[in-house]
A and B are shown apart, each in its own frame.
Chain A
């Protein structure tokens, strides 16, 4: 019998009695990272990387029962060896490796191979069974180097500031916002963060990171005093009156989806920066190869296409799997959306659905 199974609560290891990133409420949950579609409320005991703990406590409640471990630190549950390994997605994100009687599985959660200098860089883990996302699992997604995009953002900000305009940069509050902040040239203009971003910064600072250069917005400042500054805000801020105080401003979104012209135009923003905390096509293929896995389970994203690619062109046993994970969202605050659907008890229709058409796709919610 397989060590891991997909059931209506998540990815389950019966032998160890644990779920990984469950969307139902369970006794023991191992959490790959603190994004709301992976770290959900209501389980009795959580296990995650040390760096994920402050964010989880902030979001799920200070009283949650959670244990932190480091990367490559092994624990054993009923004979199953379990360890976390860097996934490179956001600070504290981890792949979960499970081994029992020579059978090795890796649940990668969300991950990327690019080094953003904040998240511990991805480390490939050899296994026989690999569970991968496929958010950008199409050959049209080829992300530019992190430094190149940071350069584009800085040039754009400098130009805006010189023209007396504020630069509003949009990225989700946990992960992307810090990725943006880290790469900003701090000498261009004062940097302000939206409240949701500040909260995440504070939580991450408990793990020793420093984002103190991004100031919470001082509401006593006049429009004149704010002019030409740089603001980092989550997608939910787009189109809200909150932005008006920055007039005149130019607005740019950081997302892997910005690779496509249609997605950028639909958002009606001035600029789209191709910056993602997920794998592009090349990174996905590289990662799969590096695991050496014969069996690949493809979750959220272009899963049917990517699974077919792995079967037909890479000659692997690849299957698509329905989950409630959502990948990268630019159409609003995915984190709220994920929490709501979890609370409303919306579970995927039977996971055995071979068409794989019942769950949210493409993260484009």
Chain B
């Protein structure tokens, strides 16, 4: 654990990519193989499940520190991170045991078998055997909130460097639902592991947002322009007569989508399609939340299948008759994709649609198409260079997302709460209100969007203008106005304001506006009505 904690600290203390990769390589070179495997699993989002309730951890650490619970809780609100609070509040360790990462994870998983009292004793003993760096990582593992500032791509880079394998190969070998329980590092990274990998998806190619003027992209005819659908990005694989649907988060979701079963006898073996799973009816996508509700269900009922029928909006073809065609130009892959979808639809009515390529003769036309995107329940457009290969991971250059400008509303700051992590100890989580007659009603929370400097200014203002405190929340004088951006708006009987926003965030601090200038409930209702009539 010591080496792993040091790796964590090294990564945490730098913002430089190269330093992070170096730290990873050093760890891969020196740690035991099983530790490396667990490390890779955790850094790519395969943390073991939480085994202990956070309430218990709070109590046990307060007890071990000889502190009353209330002051632990106050400290937690200020630190903003449970694992860190426990680490800081515990008395110094009395010994150092030097458990390995693998051993520690095995210990955590064995806790299920312990009774409550034994669990407490076992964990308190571990705490007493670890230094603060180890404790922090250990607590992070227990609270199930293990996250560190490296992307999957950096882990891949470091593995490639240490084990001298091509990055793309490593990327592919890391996809899918492997687990340190069922494989070894050697198998995972070697070609022999590949034989058993027919269920694995390709690494997804993800795009960045295009922020500049589209004129900078050159000739519009070089670009394939499509809608950016708002669903679940996924890969549909048909190999060895079996069907797999993977989400972008590399979760196997085949069972959630029985609609696609029919494709088994229809798509040729060795086909991989990249697309967006969408609820779709009468020739148009339905709002995202319909599918969300359906996916949340444990058992799919007939009713939910009818309410939100799903299709795959096909974007790209990655494998054709068993051949990996990702390096061929977009145009070529598109032609093959069209063929595959057409052939399938000729055999039966299958839930495969082609993502339409928009015919734009100029960037003005493209801009108009983007403005209209929201009416189709889309988030904007995708711009893909016609010669682009299908790359791995999030990359700049050949593909861009070009989202619609968000909707905005001016709200008054009403409540503030301390943030977490990087924003701990600052009031950064805000609740905003709009006018309903002469009353201010809260209508949304928003966390992000201000610069660090603005956050400090607002934090300072909040501390000077607090009216009341409720635990970690403060109510403040109604005075500051902020412009809130959001992607969508729906009626919501659960909220006092009657509306619910999708992806709300702070666009800017309107120091030029007074509270009287904020928007009203009527304004938002009008927005909803406008949407409803265009649909």
- Chain B associates with chain A: yes
Q: Are B89 and A364 in contact (CB under 8 A)?
A: no
Residue B421 at the chain A interface, CB threshold 8 Å: yes
- Total A-B residue contacts, Cβ distance less than 8 Å: 80
Which A residues are CB-close (under 8 A) to B419? Answer: 262
Q: Are B78 and A266 in contact (CB under 8 A)?
A: no
Q: Are B456 and A331 in contact (CB under 8 A)?
A: yes
Other-chain contact of A364, B80, B426, B452 (Cβ < 8 Å) = B426
Question: Main secondary structure on chain A at its contact with chain B?
Answer: loop
Q: Are B459 and A364 in contact (CB under 8 A)?
A: yes
Residue B74 at the chain A interface, CB threshold 8 Å: yes
Residue A358 at the chain B interface, CB threshold 8 Å: yes
Given known A139-B71, A266-B422, A355-B469, contact A365–B78 (CB-CB < 8 A): no
Binds B, one of A60-68, A94-102, A305-313: A305-313
Binds A, one of B10-18, B196-204, B336-344: B10-18
Which B residues are CB-close (under 8 A) to A139? Answer: 65, 67, 71-72, 75, 88-89
Residue A142 at the chain B interface, CB threshold 8 Å: yes
Other-chain contact of B421, A140, A141, A265, A360 (Cβ < 8 Å) = A265
Complex: how many Å from CA A261 to CA B135? Answer: 14
Residue B423 at the chain A interface, CB threshold 8 Å: yes
CB-nearest residue of chain A to B418: A262
Q: Are B85 and A140 in contact (CB under 8 A)?
A: yes
CB-nearest residue of chain A to B424: A262
Complex: how many Å from CA A156 to CA B466? Answer: 42
Quick one: CB contact mask for A291-313 with B, threshold 8 Å, 1 for yes? 00000000000100100110011
Complex: how many Å from CA A361 to CA B452? Answer: 18
Which A residues are CB-close (under 8 A) to B460? Answer: 360, 365
CB-nearest residue of chain A to B459: A364
CB-nearest residue of chain B to A358: B464
Quick one: CB contact mask for A272-292 with B, threshold 8 Å, 1 for yes? 000000000000000000000
Q: Are B68 and A263 in contact (CB under 8 A)?
A: no
CB-nearest residue of chain B to A365: B460
Complex: how many Å from CA A305 to CA B459? Answer: 19
Other-chain contact of B12, A138, A260, A261 (Cβ < 8 Å) = A261
Residue B81 at the chain A interface, CB threshold 8 Å: yes
Q: Are B425 and A270 in contact (CB under 8 A)?
A: no
Residue A259 at the chain B interface, CB threshold 8 Å: yes
Quick one: CB contact mask for A311-349 with B, threshold 8 Å, 1 for yes? 011000000000000000001000000000000000000
Given known A140-B75, A360-B464, A365-B460, contact A259–B88 (CB-CB < 8 A): yes
Quick one: CB contact mask for A127-152 with B, threshold 8 Å, 1 for yes? 00000000000111110000000000
Complex: how many Å from CA A265 to CA B72? Answer: 23
Q: Are B68 and A260 in contact (CB under 8 A)?
A: no
Which B residues are CB-close (under 8 A) to A77? Answer: none
Given known A138-B74, A138-B78, A140-B75, contact A262–B68 (CB-CB < 8 A): no
CB-nearest residue of chain B to A272: B13
Residue A362 at the chain B interface, CB threshold 8 Å: yes
Quick one: CB contact mask for A238-278 with B, threshold 8 Å, 1 for yes? 00000000000000000000011111011010110000000
CB-nearest residue of chain A to B474: A357
CB distance from A112 to the nearest CB of B (A): 19
Quick one: CB contact mask for A166-206 with B, threshold 8 Å, 1 for yes? 00000000000000000000000000000000000000000
Q: Are B424 and A260 in contact (CB under 8 A)?
A: yes
CB distance from B93 to the nearest CB of A (A): 13
Complex: how many Å from CA A302 to CA B71? Answer: 11
State which residues 88-108 of B face A: CB under 8 Å.
88-89
CB distance from A308 to the nearest CB of B (A): 8
CB-nearest residue of chain A to B68: A313
Complex: how many Å from CA A235 to CA B389? Answer: 48
CB distance from B461 to the nearest CB of A (A): 11
Residue B170 at the chain A interface, CB threshold 8 Å: no
Complex: how many Å from CA A359 to CA B465? Answer: 9
CB-nearest residue of chain A to B468: A355
Which B residues are CB-close (under 8 A) to A312? Answer: 68
The 5 closest A-B pairs by CB, nearest first: A262-B424, A140-B88, A357-B466, A265-B422, A140-B75
Known: A260-B84, A270-B13, A270-B14. 19 other contacts (CB 8 A): A138-B71, A139-B65, A139-B67, A139-B72, A139-B75, A139-B89, A140-B79, A140-B85, A142-B88, A261-B81, A261-B421, A262-B420, A265-B12, A265-B422, A266-B422, A266-B423, A360-B460, A365-B456, A365-B460
